[in-house]
Amino acid sequence: MTASTPSTVSSPPTPRPARDSFWTRIAAELAEAIGNGIYPPGQRLPSEHALAEQFGVNRHTIRRSLASLCSQGLVRITQGSGTYVEDFAVDLVLGKRTRHQQGLAQAGLRGSLEVLHEQVAPATAALARALQVPVRSKVLVLRVMGNAEGQPLHVSERYFPLPRFDGLAAVVRETGSITAGFAAHGVADYTRRESRITAELPETQVATALRQPASRPVLQVESLNVDPAGVPIEWARAWFAGDRVKLTIAHDEH
């Protein structure tokens, strides 16, 4: 009887690294470098070509890695300029007296408001209730960008009753301040009656203005400001870049 030859069991082939693992590994290494300060806040990362050579991969893989970092809020990608480490998160206080420039000054930053667009429009029913004006009465609509140290922090749509605030847009364009616009129209002081905060994914126009991907949430704040007599003077809806802004609600203002 012939002895049978034991069958040879071959070892499974060593798996080749999945292509997806390259970009995730590179994204993790870059995130670690950012966290360790190798790439400090505000610094431009090496070019896609330089990173591709550094990691021994193609530029498409690098683009996926950078897109992942961007979606995490660690970097921002500026078309035609490069990829930059996000450089600050501002703590803004929403209180009884909320002022853009004053809030930034408290954080040690300089900033202003930029008017992107202005128009006169009829008040919708909801807006008329908020501003206590007749439905379809004329209101001034300003689309405004709030900046700090050259970074967009929020973009907003602001509504003011007319004719009370005729000419307000010109003052805001000149001064970069809604407060200065109110002062020029006889409102020396004003307070915030309410703020409503929600998180949502931004529309494309908002994401573009904030220089962030549409897949990254923003903080939406709806607010109503009133004059010393309690008369509404402004209703606004603002979208804050969620990775650059922390909103603090102040309850102790007088």
- Together in a domain, 50 and 109: no
- Together in a domain, 138 and 225: yes
Q: Confidence band (pLDDT; 50, 70, 90) for 16?
A: very low
Q: What is the pLDDT of residue 2?
A: 45
Q: What is the mean pLDDT of residues 215-239?
A: 95
- Together in a domain, 126 and 203: yes
22-75 per-position pLDDT tens digit = 898 998 899 888 767 788 878 899 999 999 999 999 999 999 999 888 877 678
149-172 per-position pLDDT tens digit = 777 889 999 999 999 999 999 999
- Together in a domain, 60 and 102: no
- Together in a domain, 173 and 138: yes
Q: What is the pLDDT of residue 39?
A: 86
Q: Is residue 9 part of a domain?
A: no
Q: Is residue 2 part of a domain?
A: no
Q: Confidence band (pLDDT; 50, 70, 90) for 252?
A: low
Q: Is residue 4 part of a domain?
A: no
Domain finish residue from 68, 85, 102:
85
Q: Is residue 5 part of a domain?
A: no
Domain finish residue from 85, 116, 136:
85
Q: Is residue 77 part of a domain?
A: yes
Q: Is residue 1 part of a domain?
A: no
Higher-confidence residue: 213 or 114? Answer: 114
| CATH, residue 81 | 1.10.10.10
Q: Confidence band (pLDDT; 50, 70, 90) for 211?
A: confident
> Which residues form the domain of 30?
20-85
- Together in a domain, 77 and 190: no
Domain finish residue from 37, 60, 85:
85
- Together in a domain, 101 and 183: yes
Q: Is residue 32 part of a domain?
A: yes
- Together in a domain, 63 and 168: no
| CATH, residue 107 | 3.40.1410.10
- Three-state SS letters, the chain: CCCCCCCCCCCCCCCCCCHHHHHHHHHHHHHHHHHCCCCCCCCECCCHHHHHHHHCCCHHHHHHHHHHHHHCCCEEEECCCEEEECCCCEEEEECCCCCHHHHHHHCCCCEEEEEEEEEEEECCHHHHHHHCCCCCCEEEEEEEEEEECCEEEEEEEEEEECCCCCCHHHHHHHHCCHHHHHHHCCCCCCEEEEEEEEEECCCHHHHHHCCCCCCCCEEEEEEEEECCCCCEEEEEEEEEECCCEEEEECCCCC
Q: What is the pLDDT of residue 87?
A: 65
Tally the residues of the chain: 254
- Together in a domain, 102 and 72: no
**Tally of structural domains, the chain:** 2
Q: Is residue 69 part of a domain?
A: yes
The chain-wide mean pLDDT, for the chain, equals: 85
- Together in a domain, 230 and 216: yes
Q: What is the mean pLDDT of residues 212-237?
A: 94
- Together in a domain, 105 and 207: yes
- Together in a domain, 99 and 45: no
Q: What is the mean pLDDT of residues 89-98?
A: 79
Largest CA distance in the chain: 114
